[in-house]
Amino acid sequence: MTYDVIIPTVGRPSLRTLVARLAELGVPSERLRIVEDDGPRSGPAAARNRGWRASTAEWVVFLDDDVVPGLDWRERLEADLAAAADEVAAVQGRILVPLPADRKPTDWERSVHCLESAQWATADMAYRRTALAGVRGFDERFPRAFREDVDVALRLSDAGWRLMRGTRTVIHPVGPADRWESVRRERGNADDALMLALHGRGWHTRAHARVGRRPFHLAVTAAASGALATCVLGRRRPALPLAAVWLVGTLELAWRRIAAGPRDRSEVTTMLVTSSLIPAVASLHWLAGLARARRLVRRSPPEAVLLDRDGTLVVDVPYNGDPERVEPVPGAREALARLRAAGIRTAVVSNQSGIGRGLISAEAVAAVNRRIDELLGPLGPVLICPHAPGEGCDCRKPSPGLVYRAAAALGVPPERCAVVGDVGADVEAACAAGARGVLVPTQKTQPEEVASAPEVAPTLGAAVELLLGAER
């Protein structure tokens, strides 16, 4: 078992302390790689990628440049890695953030202290190098060291790997920060928007991450914007209750932060001033992040397209078990040819509840699938849910089971897949799995399904062109 220690650095003076501690612990210098994080030009994800890609060791261990490993860190690290089973992709170290013993912690100190409970923080994180290579490392679309670690953890989990906590410990001191640090931290809302675009609505739950107060911030900012707009229009009466909502929300946020802290004059002043700014700044970063995420996710064509069957590839004949009744939808052959020409793999994901209802046999469904292959060419793996509604399976769309299984069969992470279907359940399954969803409405598609779909195309061919837009 071999490992390299990789330290992305922004040039903090604490780097010298870390390097000296590693030397004291007997970590060989040839195992140590210091990688410059040049901030706006590339960011921490790019620095980490440069580090692990230059390594040939079995494991790569990332340390932040402002941590101090415990005196038994090397021994515990090697024990952690030796104990990792073959299916374990990563082992996280334990982070301790010392807080003052003689007073309540400041807002900044409480924020840093959250690292102690953070899942998959790269302050001390060891990855199996082959696992990182399998998911192509860190996503360099994340410009800050905030969510790129959670993103890679979710992609590893989606690929079938397991992540675990180890026994080694590092100390993460609370560094200096000025009065405006809490306002600057709200830039992380933009990274949350990218996480939403990549992993769907359930990503917070899967990652054990906090949602925070974003809904509150959006409501307070909307009230302030409404009050300002009505004043400009000369309608002061409705402006008053909106302004009151903003004021109460701002004071509630300020008091919540003040009550948890030391309550000295400097801290109270900082909390009052920054609490008046945080809701608007958080909301602006969130909205800007949504727009940026939409561009970034659309810019890159998917590696695989998962297609619904009935109503999307072929004309919907309810509970069809007769291959002679199979009729491709107009443009299906051309759309599939376009995907094949682009080198994009395909699979079929289809609810076939007729099997569970006793209306059709699994053999008849397989015969229809073979006929579709004959008419449209090989479509790759065909994943079906044979269960009737109410059976509690995890594969019936809108559950994401079929998407996960198709992605695994193709060897593609779910977030690099797109799902094309004709009903809301298709795009909901995509979102739940972190994939991209495109709705191609038919006569049976409900208006509310169209309204809530993240992307809509009039035909299958148009959906394919939308997905391949970056290559046109």
Note the pLDDT tens digit of each residue in 19-78.
Answer: 999 999 999 999 999 988 765 556 788 889 889 988 999 999 999 999 999 999 999 999
- Domains of the chain: which residue ranges? 3-177, 214-296, 304-471
202 CB burial (10 A radius; 0-12, 13-18, 19+): middle
> Which residue carries 């300020």 as its tokens?
254
Q: Bigger pLDDT: 43 or 15?
A: 15
> Which listed residue (64, 310, 316, 426) is catalytic?
310
- Select 3-177's CATH number: 3.40.640.10, 3.90.1300.10, 3.90.550.10, 3.40.80.10: 3.90.550.10
Q: Pick from 123, 104, 106, 4: which is nearest to 52 by CA?
A: 4
Tell me the mean pLDDT in the region 180-187.
95
Q: Is 310 a catalytic residue?
A: yes
> Which listed residue (308, 316, 422, 426) is catalytic?
308
Tell me the mean pLDDT in the region 284-297.
88
3-state secondary structure 23-65: HHCCCCHHHEEEEECCHHHCCHHHHHHHHHHCCCCCEEEEECC
Assign a CATH topology to domain 304-471: Rossmann fold (3.40.50)
What's 328's DSSP letter? Answer: B
The string of pLDDT tens digits covering residues 399-451 is 999 999 999 999 999 889 999 999 999 998 988 888 889 999 999 999 888 88
Residue 263's Cα: distance from chain center in Å? 37
The string of pLDDT tens digits covering residues 202-224 is 888 888 887 788 899 999 999 99
pLDDT at residue number 357: 93
Q: Please give the share of the chain, as a percent, with pLDDT higher than 90.
A: 71
Overall pTM > 0.75:
no
The string of pLDDT tens digits covering residues 318-368 is 999 999 999 999 999 999 999 999 999 999 999 999 999 999 999 999 999
Tell me the mean pLDDT in the region 83-98.
96
